[in-house]
Chain A
Amino acid sequence: MINLNYKSVSFSQNGTNLLGPIDLEINLRGITNVLGYNGAGKSLFLELCHALIMPQSGQIRWDGQPANTTRDSRGYIFQHRITLRRSVKNNIALPMQAAGWTKNIINKRLDELLYMAKLTSKANEPASTLSGGEAQRMALVRALATYPKLVIMDEPTSSLDPNATTEFEKLIKKIASSGVKFLWATHNVTQAKQFADDVIFIASGKVAEYSPGDIFFIAPKTLIAQQYIKGL
């Protein structure tokens, strides 16, 4: 279990309140899906979680520690692919290099990660030549490189075709079974039904609902969540 605590968190830009105030204290287990309509604030919620942006007011803590001092213990995957102008191998090595690992340890870990992502044969190719699915698998193992307890994912499959999505989901299942927790924003209700241990439902910049997946999809408490699940 990882404890996440949002304490009166608000985020605004150019005077417009985009998120919050949010007060939330939850214990993450397995996979937690973040759901909500486009523009509800899912991305902002995740970026705040990893302290990629800082709130104007309030505090976000992970197991009691401020989010901006604990980035090392989390991995992050962006919605759009971000690849360095380097080989696949050296893309995956980035977090380990940033953490100051030695070459030997990095190389050992790279072998495992490349194998996990089925990219061993493409290790030395420029990352720019990867397909969308391969690039997101690369991003996933890159996020896992330094053994984080939690991986935050912002709609990682939104631009993938069905096959690539399935491949990506398989990898998630495998990783989740090894004990890594996921905080995963998606707009795909079918996907969330299949994966969510818990659901955070965000509407108009607020956490409208937090409940276990099997309860959320059968009996959502709020009207807006009911509509969302029905696809309205």
Chain B
Amino acid sequence: MVCVLLCDGTNFSTLALRASPQQQERHFLEILNTTLQLITSGDATLWGIVALSLRISLSATLIAAVLAIPLGTGLAMGRFVGRRIIIMLSSSLMALPPVVVGLAIYLILSRAGPLGEYGLLFTPTAMIIAQSVLIFPIILALTTEAVNPLEQTYRPLLHSVNASHWFRLKTLIIDARFAIFTALLAGFGRAIAEVGAVIIVGGNIAGLTRVMTTTIALETSKGNLELALALGLILISLAIIVNTIIHSLKSIGQKYQRTSR
């Protein structure tokens, strides 16, 4: 898309409109113009989709975070057999293929599956579940990675003041908060940009389970480039915002980084 934006508009009658024969007459700049109008006019369909995407991905991030942050911190604190294997496993699960997760959740939630009776398939709840599963290992692994060096520095001190396990967990989470928040943003970024899993378990139903990514996939193939492009722009803006926050958090975090000398 970046290339499309950078190139001279006049040469685009063929490239931009490859998807749909009906629109071959339309000029690329015209599409871009409508796109911007769509974004600025407060189009209900467009912003409804954006709102649903945010709701689903933020919920998924929250659920994954509540589970992964204490677990990841506990994993960094623990000295038990199999710890390394769990850490290794969680790192490799970071690259979980979304479509496979989608398929697995589909099987579990479908009528014949173990949770079929709840009728969750093709609902936003199913999409939240799929995204939570997908980003849980990301938040878990990044939290463990962030807390580990801090835990090694703090361990003797926390031990010497006779701190309980809960107190240690709390102290480490609070003091690794910048890195942990970065992990959350990474998880959120993955969730909101993900398409494979949510299209399988959500079904891409208009007004109900249609989110930014699935809409882009559908509308592009239908030739409705304005809506797809508008959502694409919003998605990229979100990615830039999230990354800006991550970077500024890192620089704030560095101020407190020097823990021992």
Contacts and interface: CB of A to CB of B under 8 A. Distances in A.
A98 B156 contact: no
Contact of A95 (B161, B164, B258): B161
- Do most interface residues of chain B lie in helix, strand or loop, or is the interface mixed? helix
A76 to B, nearest CB: 4
B149 to A, nearest CB: 11
Interface string A74-115: 011010111111100000001101110000000000000000
Contacts of B260: 80-83
Contacts of A76: 160-161
Given A52-B159, A78-B157, A85-B175, A126 B256 contact: yes
B154 A84 contact: yes
A84 B171 contact: yes
B163 interface: yes
B157 A85 contact: no
B257 A85 contact: yes
Given A82-B153, A97-B167, A128 B160 contact: no
B162 interface: yes
B162 to A, nearest CB: 4
Given A82-B153, A86-B175, A71 B160 contact: yes
Interface in B36-54: none
A128 B259 contact: yes
Interface in B228-261: 255-261
Contact of A52 (B156, B175, B255, B256): B156
- Do most interface residues of chain A lie in helix, strand or loop, or is the interface mixed? mixed
Given A78-B156, A78-B157, A94-B161, A84 B175 contact: yes
Contact of A71 (B162, B175, B258): B162
Nearest to B159: A52
A50 interface: yes
Contacts of B162: 71-72, 98-99
Contacts of A58: none
Contact of B259 (A83, A97, A98): A83
Which size bracket describes the interface of B in this complex? 20 to 34
Nearest to A84: B175
Contact of A128 (B158, B161, B171, B257): B257
Given A94-B161, A98-B162, A82 B167 contact: no
Nearest to A74: B160
A132 interface: yes
Contacts of A95: 161
Nearest to B256: A85
A86 B175 CA distance: 7
A98 B257 contact: no
Contacts of B259: 82-85, 128
A86 B172 CA distance: 11
A44 to B, nearest CB: 13
- Give the one of B157, B171, B175, B259 with max A CB within 10 A: B157
B132 to A, nearest CB: 29
Contacts of B154: 82, 84
Nearest to B258: A128
B17 to A, nearest CB: 55
A99 B164 CA distance: 9
A132 B260 CA distance: 10
Contacts of B153: 82
Contacts of B158: 98
B175 A81 contact: no
Contacts of B157: 78, 82, 84, 94
A135 B161 CA distance: 17
10 nearest interchain CB pairs?
A76-B160, A71-B162, A128-B258, A85-B256, A95-B161, A98-B163, A82-B157, A85-B175, A98-B161, A98-B167
28 contacts: A52-B156, A52-B159, A71-B160, A76-B160, A78-B156, A78-B157, A81-B260, A82-B153, A82-B157, A83-B259, A83-B260, A84-B175, A84-B259, A85-B256, A85-B257, A86-B175, A86-B256, A94-B157, A94-B171, A98-B161, A98-B163, A98-B167, A99-B161, A126-B255, A128-B255, A128-B256, A128-B257, A135-B261
Interface of B: 150, 153-154, 156-164, 167, 171, 175, 255-261
Given A86-B175, A99-B161, A128-B259, 14 more contacts: A71-B160, A78-B157, A81-B260, A83-B259, A84-B154, A85-B257, A86-B256, A94-B171, A98-B158, A98-B162, A126-B255, A128-B257, A128-B258, A132-B261
